[in-house]
Chain A
Amino acid sequence: GAGVSQTPSNKVTEKGKYVELRCDPISGHTALYWYRQSLGQGPEFLIYFQGTGAADDSGLPNDRFFAVRPEGSVSTLKIQRTERGDSAVYLCASSSQGNTEAFFGQGTRLTVV
């Protein structure tokens, strides 16, 4: 069956631009997570959705970052006024409910030049 899908797989953008990263979770999974992973580091928690609502957005680094999940399925992570420090792999994961196995997407490698 289809796993978690993230698009694009790679994104190069100029400093100051706006980007959107998309995550298609496994069908029926109510829990959705966004993480950011820098080279050699563990996944850094950004935000967690249960259904349509952001149950915990405490990991978003600042107000340039925002995420939505309007219909409780696809989620979009939005980054405004990108900075070079935003360069990382952005991972999305979903699980059938919270506190169970989370399945990861392949990630979007964002490079801000």
Chain B
Amino acid sequence: GENVEQHPSTLSVQEGDSAVIKCTYSDSASNYFPWYKQELGKRPQLIIDIRSNVGEKKDQRIAVTLNKTAKHFSLHITETQPEDSAVYFCAASTTNNNDMRFGAGTRLTVKP
């Protein structure tokens, strides 16, 4: 089955700086890559997703890039704010199998 690895496990940045989180996947058939944000004690919520037919997608301060050849995708957050502090999870799934697998998560801390 699909195996998703995520790095780093923790990330601390100064407010206003950028943050980058990287994930790799193993199944070349994976074609849907969502990113979830989970605040303490709350459920994971989708913040952005990308499909394999595009290489980059942007939504205000967040962007995701995908390199299918290398089987990795990244989350980029610019102009970070303290409220961006949370755990971020990447995931991957395929059209055929659909069993979405998650990375281990990155705990992002934005220092004011």
A42 contacts chain B at the CB level, 8 A cutoff: yes
- Report the Cα distance A43→B93, complex, angstroms: 14
Q: How many A-B residue pairs have CB under 8 A?
A: 64
**What are the residues of chain A within 8 A of B101 when measuring CB–CB?**
45
Write the nearest CB–CB distance from A90 to chain B, whole angstroms.
12
Please determine whether A56 and B97 come into contact, CB atoms closer than 8 angstroms: yes
Encode A49-83 as 1/0 by CB contact (under 8 A) with B: 01000011011000000000000000000000000
Considering the chains assembled together, what is the distance between the CA atoms of A56 and B98 in angstroms?
9
- Chain B positions 97 through 112: 1 when the CB is less than 8 Å from some CB of chain A, otherwise 0: 1111111110000000
User: Given A56-B97, A59-B99, A99-B31, do A107 and B105 touch, yes or no (CB 8 Å)?
Assistant: no
Contacts of B97 in A (CB 8 A): 55-56, 98
Q: Could you tell me if A42 and B103 are in contact, using CB atoms closer than 8 angstroms?
A: yes
Contact between A100 and B32 (Cβ–Cβ < 8 Å)? yes
Extra A-B contacts (13), CB below 8 Å, given A42-B102, A43-B102, A104-B45: A31-B98, A35-B102, A40-B105, A42-B89, A42-B105, A48-B99, A98-B95, A99-B31, A99-B95, A101-B34, A102-B100, A103-B46, A107-B43
Residues of A within 8 A of B36 (CB): 104
Whether B6 is near chain A, meaning CB under 8 Å from some CB there, is yes
Interface residues as binary, B12-39 with A (CB distance below 8 Å gives 1, 0 otherwise): 0000000000000000000110101000
Question: For residue B100, which residues in chain A have a CB less than 8 angstroms away from its CB?
Answer: 33, 45, 48, 93, 102
Most chain A Cβ neighbours within 10 Å, of B34, B43, B89: B43
Interchain residue pairs with CB less than 8 A apart (6): A45-B101, A56-B97, A98-B93, A98-B97, A98-B98, A104-B44
- In the complex, whether B94 has a CB less than 8 A from a CB of chain A is yes
Complexed CA–CA distance, A44 and B55 (Å) = 27
Q: How far is the CB of A105 from chain B (nearest CB, A)?
A: 6
On chain A, the residues within 8 Å of B98 by CB distance are 31, 48, 50, 55-56, 98-99
Q: A112 to chain B: closest CB distance in Å?
A: 20
From the candidates B89, B94, B99, name the one contacting A33 in the complex (CB within 8 A): B99
Interface set, chain B 71-112, CB cutoff 8 A to A: 89, 93-95, 97-105
